Amino acid sequence: MDATLVSLFTDRAVALAAGVEAALLAQDAPHYRSAPPDERRGRVERLVEVFLEAVRAGGPAAFVAHVRRVAGERAAEGYGLTEIQHALSALEAQAWPIVTGAGGETDVVVRRLALVTGIVGRGKDELARAFLEQKERAEAEAARLVRRLETLFKGTEPPPDSQ
């Protein structure tokens, strides 16, 4: 754990969340823009909290688990993959200046940026995986329904002509 990095993000958690929210409102993310402000803010704050948990742990596990859960929820709500990607990219874009602005030796700054990018990157990987799995499930269900319809209509004959 990098105590200085944890402190940097903890001290700026509110600003970090506000920056992510502002970025989402500026992006092509209609579901985030139309969400009630308290709900949107709460979701962004939770994303930042889980990101901080991952920074404290020095690895992406908590963040990845959160992204997997959220991906399913947002997909069920009609959010597109790119909308959720915007949230993760916005988080990373807000975090980088915090790290670089704190300064320090180049090796330390690069290591911190690598941790940030590693956490968010693993989250993006999990997001893609979750969306692809959901797409595969939906396609399988659609194929099952088509087969069922074909079975239902198989062998049926049109009604006789009533001449």
Per-residue pLDDT averaged across 138-146, rounded? 86
Residue 54 CA to residue 75 CA, distance in Å, equals 24
142 pLDDT above the threshold of 70: yes
- What predicted TM-score, i.e. pTM, was given to this entire model? 0.80
Read off φ and ψ for residue 105, nearest 5 degrees. Answer: -65, 145
Whether residue 84 is contained in a domain is answered as: yes
What pLDDT score does 151 carry? 82
Residue 67 CA to residue 123 CA, distance in Å, equals 6
45 pLDDT above the threshold of 70: yes
pLDDT digits (tens, 9 = 90+) for 4-44: 899 999 999 999 999 999 998 998 788 888 889 999 999 99
Domain that holds residue 82: 3-151
What are the CA-CA distances from residue 143 to residues 75, 76, 130, 147, 156 (Å)?
20, 20, 20, 6, 21
Whether residue 129 is contained in a domain is answered as: yes
Domain count within the chain: 1
Tokens matching residue 152 = 């239902």
pLDDT digits (tens, 9 = 90+) for 100-138: 998 889 999 999 999 999 999 999 999 888 888 887 887
What pLDDT score does 156 carry? 63
Q: How sure is the predictor about 162, in pLDDT bands with cuts at 50, 70 and 90?
A: low
Whether residue 33 is contained in a domain is answered as: yes
Tokens matching residue 9 = 């993000």
Whether residue 161 is contained in a domain is answered as: no
What pLDDT score does 139 carry? 84
Whether residue 159 is contained in a domain is answered as: no
